[in-house]
Structure 1
Amino acid sequence: MSKSDHSKGLIGFILPSMKTKIEQEFVNYIEKYVSKNGYHLIIKITRESQFEEADAIKMFRKLDVKGMIIFPTEKETYNEAVLRLTLDKFPMVLIDRFMVNISTYSVTSENEAGTFEAVSYLLDKGHTNIGLISPVITNTVTDERAKGFEKAFFQRGITINKNLWFILNINEISASRTPKRILEFLLANPEITAVFTMNAELARYTHIAIDSIKKRFSRDIELLTFDSPGLSDVTYIQQDIAQCSKKTVELLLEQIDGKYDPKRIYVPVELKMSENETLLLTELT
């Protein structure tokens, strides 16, 4: 008898893309924990389409999956197919995002706390004119990170200048256009001394713009971001994707085993210093 004959069944995993390192890590770790518990994982990529998301849910139910893990699209409104799973109490866990005012299982990183720590770090270094570069704030992740940014200022009694917030339509973010637009924004706001970006992709584009400004005008702008952009001179907030994945699978198995007690789990994040900052701190101590 083959090993596959012992499978307890299928688990469906729906995610918007496989472009980012975070998404790739989620696939890696979720597959690991699903397999470890005797199930097989099947994956559907929605490419940020709620229609594809709904079709994937329909397909998985026809395949008689035991449960679903869903990394929702960036859309502002909830997908009715996801809401139906919740109403049916079908075993499901949302990762990275959650539904406001709707009782369901979800696992997210501490987005607000992480951004608060990062922006507080910049404020403690004397930066007050801090730019924010973000996709349109349409989901719980960007909303929580924006709240963390604001909270850092409010707790210190410092006024936020939201004219220094550069908000981009997600469909318009690209390697060919975005660095130039960020450069124009930074040149139009010479008072900015530091920038916080909402994700690694925007951090890479901002880094290109900052490099250009530094070479042309000798103006230095400090950059912090959520998630590693793969740049040694950038301090960033690191999510614990392994722990997020482990908790997600545990919550799903709890439902498959017959327990239904919706909860939201927050997984701690960590501020990781750039090589430059680590070297500076070492020299100071």
Structure 2
Amino acid sequence: MSETTSSKPMYEKIFDEVKQDIVTQAYKLGERVPSEKELAEAYNVSRITSKKALELLAAERLIVRKPGRGSFVADPVHDYIEEEASSTGQPDEPSAKFAHQKEKTIGLIITDFGNSYGTGLIYGMEQASRDKDCFLVLRRTFGIPENEEQSIQKLLGLGVDGLIVFPAQGEYFNAEILKLVIDRFPLVLVDRHLKGVAAASISSDNLKAALQGTEYLFDLGHTHISFLSPPPVDTTAVEDRIEGFIQAHAQRGIMVDKGLWVSDLTSTLPNSFNDENIERDISRLVFHLQNHPSITALFAIEYNIALLAKTAVERLGLRIPEDISIICFDSPPTHLGGGYSFTHMQQNEEEMGQLAVENVLSIMNGNTVPNKIMLEARLITGESTGPARVTGTV
């Protein structure tokens, strides 16, 4: 090494050596080059120094830096075509014009959505994306972890700048989410958080909402309440609602009787919604109510389970709410007529969606966002709840 070279700042030395590797095709077109961390360790320098070297390489159009993914050897034709067209004074090609004016693109991965929950979430995201001049790409997983993993890989391959993920229900989060967190890719989870994963999340305060709904039933005189849910399977939204239900009992000094619960309803889970499963769950509820005549109220963890409960109660010839009250989370609006109005805890879906977009954009810009945001749900009274009957009169 010459004396001139040795007197250079370290970032220039790193720049020169990586540039040489690119020129000699040690790193080929489109291939990933070492990251800031890897260069810092290799040259025993700070990440500030290695970052400056990569910025010089990007300034000379030798690499393209993609947030959360790494730095790659640039293709001067495709990666910078819009700048070439501008410098020659020639009109932009359509692809060049698009690249030059490219909006930030956010991938949205969601299990599914319907009239009871999910549509408002997406509406809030779409509104925020228009306001913030970014583009939203939607992929549904139907609650299948493999679909979720493939969707993440597909959207990353398309070059999205950030991701919003509504995790699939299940005991395990997929490895792709963990990779995103480790790589510090702009990521926001909605509806629930994942234990042990330091990813930004936005959800309802499910514990507080379940506590409020249970207290409402207590105020109506109900003390024998059956809690209806699918298996918790380590899903935080379900677990928090169960905890809220239990805490409400503790605060009122009412004993929790888990013998009244039904926590194995599966027909409303994604990819399990079919006539056979629905009929099995309804029959399960009919049998349960017949064997527990003391029950005066049902707390359904979601709207579709409330529909199963309503059918079971009616099959027994019982009246709602005179004989049995039902409360749930979320319920489609009935202002257009024709729908049944359940008393329910209404989640603020639109705000949840708007915050998800705003936070992922903030992360893209290098800002820190709260690790966990929880929004309050609101109690909406409907036709399905009333004062508790005197136990034993049915």
Query: What TM-score do the two structures reach when normalised by structure 1?
Result: 0.89
- Code of the residue aligned with 1:159 in structure 2: it is M
State the match for 2:348 in structure 1: 240
Q: Distance in 2 between matches of 1:126 and 1:251?
A: 42
The CA RMSD over aligned residues, in Å, is 2.3
State the match for 2:200 in structure 1: 105
In 2 relative to 1, CA 275–194 (structure 1 residues): closer, same or farther, beyond 3 Å?
closer
State the match for 1:44 in structure 2: 139
What does the per-residue CA deviation read over 1:199-243, in whole Å, with 9 as the maximum and x for residues that have no partner?
000001101112222459x97101111111565452110011111
State the match for 2:295 in structure 1: 192
Q: Distance in 1 between matches of 2:149 and 2:385?
A: 45
Give the counterpart of 1:264 among 369, 372, 382: 372
Aligned 1:83-94 pairs, distance under 5 A = 83-94=178-189
Superposed displacement of residue 36, structure 1: 2.1
- 1:182 and 2:285 are equivalent in the alignment: yes
Q: Name the stretch that deviates more: 150-159 or 24-33.
A: 24-33
In 2 relative to 1, CA 60–68 (structure 1 residues): closer, same or farther, beyond 3 Å?
same
Aligned 1:46-125 pairs, distance under 5 A = 46-125=141-220
- Code of the residue aligned with 1:14 in structure 2: it is I
In 2 relative to 1, CA 254–235 (structure 1 residues): closer, same or farther, beyond 3 Å?
same
Is contact 1:183–1:209 with CA below 8 Å preserved after alignment?
yes
Secondary structure of the equivalent of 2:226?
strand
Superposed displacement of residue 25, structure 1: 2.1
Superposed displacement of residue 187, structure 1: 1.2
Superposed displacement of residue 277, structure 1: 6.5
Aligned 1:128-167 pairs, distance under 5 A = 128-138=223-233, 139-167=235-263
- Code of the residue aligned with 2:363 in structure 1: it is Q
Is contact 2:265–2:281 with CA below 8 Å preserved after alignment?
no
Secondary structure of the equivalent of 1:137?
coil
Is contact 1:234–1:274 with CA below 8 Å preserved after alignment?
yes
Q: Distance in 2 between matches of 1:234 and 1:26?
A: 20
Specify every segment of 5 or more residues in structure 1 that has no aligned partner in the other structure, as ranges: 279-285
Superposed displacement of residue 56, structure 1: 0.8
Give the counterpart of 1:252 among 360, 366, 370: 360
Q: Distance in 1 between matches of 2:115 and 2:278?
A: 14
Secondary structure of the equivalent of 2:357?
helix
Is contact 1:197–1:226 with CA below 8 Å preserved after alignment?
yes
In 2 relative to 1, CA 17–163 (structure 1 residues): closer, same or farther, beyond 3 Å?
same
Q: Distance in 2 between matches of 1:245 and 1:113?
A: 20
Query: What TM-score do the two structures reach when normalised by structure 2?
Result: 0.66
What does the per-residue CA deviation read over 1:107-132, in whole Å, with 9 as the maximum and x for residues that have no partner?
00111111100101111221111001
What does the per-residue CA deviation read over 1:159-186, in whole Å, with 9 as the maximum and x for residues that have no partner?
1100011012535664333222211111
State the match for 1:283 in structure 2: none
Secondary structure of the equivalent of 1:160?
coil
In 2 relative to 1, CA 147–165 (structure 1 residues): closer, same or farther, beyond 3 Å?
same
Aligned residue pair count: 276
Q: Distance in 2 between matches of 1:159 and 1:68?
A: 43
Is contact 1:197–1:203 with CA below 8 Å preserved after alignment?
yes
